[in-house]
Amino acid sequence: MMGKERIDVLLFNQGLASSREEAKRLIMAGLVYHGTEKVDKPGTKITMDAILTVKGALHPYVSRGGLKLAKAIEAFSLSFEDKIVLDVGASTGGFTDCALQHGACFVYSLDVGYGQLAWSLRTDQRVKVMERTNFRYADPDWFDPRPQIAVMDVSFISITKLFAKLKEILIPEAMIVTLVKPQFEAGVEAVAKGGIVRDKAIHLQVIQDVVQKARDVGWQANGITFSPIRGGDGNIEFLLWLTSQDGTSFPQITQKDITDVVELAHQLAQ
């Protein structure tokens, strides 16, 4: 009787991924098929003679960060068509590229660093490069026209410190899609050696705290999911969709929504 093996191991063994970690990313990005059936759980075991295929590229954007925003757009059914977007923590531009490929007409690409943004975006007339810029001290006058959507992927700072500034700069009916990185939201005592947060309870608490602090300054949480790929240090990260409390009518997420997402993220990470 033919033995069984994990799908991520088979994908690597068949030469379709350069490493087990890349195999997991391909699977979680929805690019791996067993026959005509999409497989999305790296730990699922199938027969060792199974024929797997990879459809599409793992990196359709200038960096893998674009895959994170792409998942949020799909999971929350968001439209970026003809929207003016602010990308906070743009780095090489994965979020900026994803926003443009999903129809955004203009993106402010802002980062405290310098020289990181991909050349293809740096020379794109739809992109305003805002380097060496700390968003905490941004002036609303810098943004004309005002952004309708903010996307964020920041490190070494809690995203909760930026919510009030976003209220100042975005239009009243704006929305935010932000990466939630537990390693930068949890207290120092909760972060293990190497900057990893593995505790499910801490992930739950971090998301709850972020949602509450967003509410405190006029944002409401409408969607939560997990990132399709881990952070560079191996951390599980999450994607949160927020809308302004000024006149929006989307249903808000519940405690069960948060719990279910954290549980699934941990199951798939095993």
Between 269 and 134, the more confident residue is 134
pLDDT at 141: 96
Q: Long-range contacts made by residues 22-29, C-beta under 8 angstroms, separation at least 24?
A: 22/58, 25/58, 25/64, 25/67, 25/228, 25/229, 26/54, 26/58, 28/228, 28/229, 28/268, 29/58, 29/67, 29/71, 29/228, 29/229
Topology, domain 65-269: Rossmann fold (3.40.50)
Return the percentage of the chain with pLDDT > 70, whole number. Answer: 93
pLDDT at 247: 60
Least confident of 37-41, 59-63, 169-173, 242-246: 59-63
pTM exceeding 0.85: no
- pLDDT, one tens digit per residue, over 78-127 is 999 999 999 999 999 999 999 999 999 999 999 999 999 989 999 999 99
| pLDDT grade for 189, boundaries at 50, 70 and 90 | low
With a cut of 90, say whether residue 156 has pLDDT above it. Answer: no
With a cut of 60, say whether residue 4 has pLDDT above it. Answer: yes
pLDDT at 151: 98
Q: Per the structure block, which two tokens stand in for 247?
A: 């006149």
Domain ranges of the chain: 4-54, 65-269
Question: Which residues sit opposite 52 in a β-bridge?
Answer: 34
pLDDT at 1: 57
Between 209 and 62, the more confident residue is 209
Q: What is the mean pLDDT of residues 150-170?
A: 94
Q: What is the mean pLDDT of residues 138-161?
A: 95
pLDDT at 199: 82
Query: H-helix or E-strand containing 66?
Result: helix 65-76
CA distance 189 to 21: 28
Q: How far apart are the first and last CA of the chain?
A: 26
pLDDT at 58: 58
| pLDDT grade for 142, boundaries at 50, 70 and 90 | very high
Closest CA relative to residue 203, chosen from 222, 219, 227: 227
Residues 6+ apart with CB under 8 A from 123: none
Closest CA relative to residue 155, chosen from 181, 188, 135: 181
Q: What is the mean pLDDT of residues 70-80?
A: 95
Cβ atoms of residues 153 and 180 within 8 Å: no
pLDDT at 205: 92
Max Cα–Cα distance, the chain, nearest Å: 70
4-54 falls under which CATH superfamily?
Answer: RNA-binding S4 domain (3.10.290.10)
Please classify residue 141 by burial: count the beta carbons closer than 10 Å to its beta carbon, then call 0-12 exposed, 13-18 middle and 19+ buried.
exposed
